[in-house]
Amino acid sequence: MQSIRRLRLLKSISVMLVFAVFAALAAACSAGDDSDDPNNRRTLRIGLMSGSKEDESYLRQQYSDMFELAKKNIDIEFQYASDWSSMRFASEEEMKEQQRVDNYEKLKEMMTGANPVDVLILDQGTVARLIQDNLLVPLDSYIKKDKIDLEAFVPAVMDTLREIGNNQIYGLTPTFSSSVLFYNKKLFSEAGVNPPTDGMTWDQIFDLAVQMSKGTGKDRVFGLSLSDWGGDLNFYSVNNIVAPLKLRMYDDKGETMSVDTPQWERAWKRPVELYRQKVIPNQEDLMPDPQETNEGVRYDPYSNRPFFTNRVAMTIGGAYMINELKTFNENVDKLKKYQLIDWDIVTYPTLPEMPDVGGSMYLGSIMVVNSKAQNPDDAWEFIKFSTSKETAKFKARSTYEMSSLTEFIKPIDGLSYNIEAFYKLKPNKFEYNEAEDKLNRERPNLMYISTIGDQLFQKALRGDLTVKEALQEWQANGNKLLQEIKTNPTGELDLTPYMSDEMSRQKEMVPRAAGG
C-alpha cells in the first residue's frame, strides 16, 4: 500500500516538474544543435530489465519527458527484457515456461538483435555483468570531450561506478539510495542518554540500545529495530550488518559449507542476545492494543511502525522516511494516540574492521550505452541531460532517492537534520565475482541454502538452539543440500528434511526454475 501511494505521488510530482523545467532545460541545450530540425528526426530506444506498457507513462515522466521536450526531433521508445503485462493472462504452463527464461539472456538479445536498444537503465549488478561481456561503451571519452565535472557528483557514487567498471566509467546515475540510523531525540533526552553520533560501530549502537530499553508490556520502549516496518529479527537483516565482511556461505565450487566459523558466530550472537532480551522487538511486542483506536481516522498507516509510535529509540531507514516523518508530524494532531516525533539521523553503523565503511549504496538507475547502439551519440546526450545540474535541480525535490550531485542534496522544506549521513561514509566495496555469478546462474537452487539458514536462525532466536548449534546444523544440513543441488541444480527440491518441524509437517515441495 505504501509503495502504491509513493508511486502515485511520484507521478503527480513528475507531471508538474516536466512543464516547470522545460524553459530552463531548453536554454541549457547548445545553440548550435539540431534539436529542432524536422528533417533529422531520430528514435532513441531505451532498454530496461523489466517493465510494461502499463508503466510507461510513469517511466516517461521519470526519465524521458523532459529530454523529449528539449530535443524536439528525438522520439523515445522503451523496450523491456521481461514484460510484466504479457504474464497477466498467461496460462499456468506459460507461467512455468516464463520462469525458465533467463532474463539476462533476453536483455542481451535486446541489445544485440536486429534493432538494438541504444541506452539502458539498469542496476549495478547487471551493469557489471554487461561490462564483463563487453556489451557496453566506456563513457570516459564523452566525459572528457564535454568536460563533465565529475567532482560535482557525490564521491561515493563515483567510487562505486569506477569499481563497477574496473576504474573506467561505463555509466552515470542521476540518483542513489542508502540507509542511515534514525533516532528519537526526545526518548534519548528523557532517558538521560547521549544520542548516537556519526561513525559509531554496531557494538556501540547495540550498547546504546540496551541503555534505551525500558518498561514492560505495551509500555515497553525498545532500543533498536533493524527495519522501520514491524518487528522480528531475521537472517537477512543480520547479514546486512556484516555485509562489508563478505562472509561466504559455501566455497567457490558450491560443494562445501563455510558457516561454522567464529566470524559467523559473532555476526549472529549479539543480535540474537538483544532480541531475546527484548532490546530488539518482535511482531507480537508491537501489536496495537485493540482497545486503542484513532476514532474518526479511516486508515492508520503507523500502527505497525514502532518508530512512529515512540516505541523504538533507533531504527534503520532510507530517505523515504524523511518525507513520511514530515507528513506524520504535520498531521499528528489528527491521530489521538500519537505524539510529535523529534528525530534526527546519523551514519549507518560500521564494523570495527572497516570503520570508514557504512552500509551499502544502491545505484538502481545507472544509464549506460549499448556497444551495438545505432544512435550512440544520442544515447550519450540522454545520459548527459539526465545527470545534468539543470535536471538535478528539479529531480532533487524527490525524497525517495538522493541526487547524485552533491549540490542538490539538501534538507527538505526547511527541516534541519544531518543529511550528510546519507553519503558521508564509504559504501561497501562493489566486487563482481564472475565465477560466483556463473555458479548461481547454473545452480539457481543454491538460493535455498539461505532459506535453511533463515530457518535455523529463527530457532536460535526462539532459544531452541544456541547460535553455535544453529550454525553447526546449518553447516551439516547445507553440505547435504549442496550435493543435492549439484545433481539437481534447477528442478524441484524437497526441503522438508532441512526445515523446522513446522515446515516439515507441511510437507512443502519447493519448485525453482532456472534463469529466474
Q: How far is CA 157 from CA 122, 312, 366, 377, in A?
A: 15, 31, 11, 24
Whether the Cβ atoms of residue 211 and residue 202 lie closer than 8 Å to each other: no
Predicted confidence at residue 283, as pLDDT, reads 84
| Mean pLDDT estimate for the chain | 85
Closest C-alpha among 124, 127, 89 to residue 107: 127
DSSP string, 419-458: GGGGTSSBPPPP---HHHHHHHHH-GGGHHHHHHHHHHHH
Predicted confidence at residue 13, as pLDDT, reads 42
Residue 393 sits at the vertex; the CA angle it makes with 153 and 413, to the nearest 5 degrees, is: 110
Q: What is the pLDDT of residues 319-347, one digit of tens each?
A: 999 999 999 999 998 887 889 999 999 99
Whole-number Å distance between alpha carbons of 516 and 514: 6
Handedness of CA 294, 299, 303, 309 (dihedral sign): negative
Whether the Cβ atoms of residue 371 and residue 443 lie closer than 8 Å to each other: no
DSSP string, 332-378: GGG-TT-----EEEEEPPBBTTBTTB-S-EE---EEEEBTT-S-HHH
pLDDT(46) > 70: yes
Which residues, at least 6 apart from 440, have a Cβ–Cβ distance to it below 8 Å? 446, 447
pLDDT(365) > 90: yes
Whole-number Å distance between alpha carbons of 176 and 154: 9
Average pLDDT, stretch 41-54? 91
Quote the DSSP letter at residue 38: G
Predicted confidence at residue 289, as pLDDT, reads 63
Q: What is the pLDDT of residues 483-494, one digit of tens each?
A: 999 999 988 888
Average pLDDT, stretch 26-36? 47
Task: Catalogue the long-range contacts made by 428-431 (C-beta closer than 8 Å, 24 or more residues apart).
Answer: 428/243, 428/244, 428/357, 428/359, 428/360, 428/361, 429/163, 429/244, 429/357, 430/124, 430/128, 430/160, 430/163, 430/164, 431/163, 431/246
Q: What is the pLDDT of residues 175-199, one digit of tens each?
A: 999 999 999 999 999 999 999 999 9
Mean pLDDT: which of 257-261, 409-413, 507-511 is highest?
Answer: 257-261
pTM here? Answer: 0.86
Predicted confidence at residue 61, as pLDDT, reads 87
Predicted confidence at residue 38, as pLDDT, reads 63
Q: What is the pLDDT of residues 270-319, one digit of tens each?
A: 999 999 999 999 888 877 665 555 555 556 778 788 999 999 999 999 99
Average pLDDT, stretch 207-212? 98
Residue ranges of domains in the chain, CATH in brackets: 2-177+362-406 (3.40.190.10), 180-347 (3.40.190.10), 434-510 (no CATH)
HEC readout, 166-203: CCCCCEECCEEEECEEEEEHHHHHHHCCCCCCCCCEHH
Q: How far is CA 291 from CA 294, 301, 305, 445, in A?
A: 10, 17, 18, 46
Whole-number Å distance between alpha carbons of 508 and 500: 12
pLDDT(21) > 80: no
Whole-number Å distance between alpha carbons of 198 and 471: 33
Which residues, at least 6 apart from 436, have a Cβ–Cβ distance to it below 8 Å? 252
What SS3 state is found at 214? Answer: strand
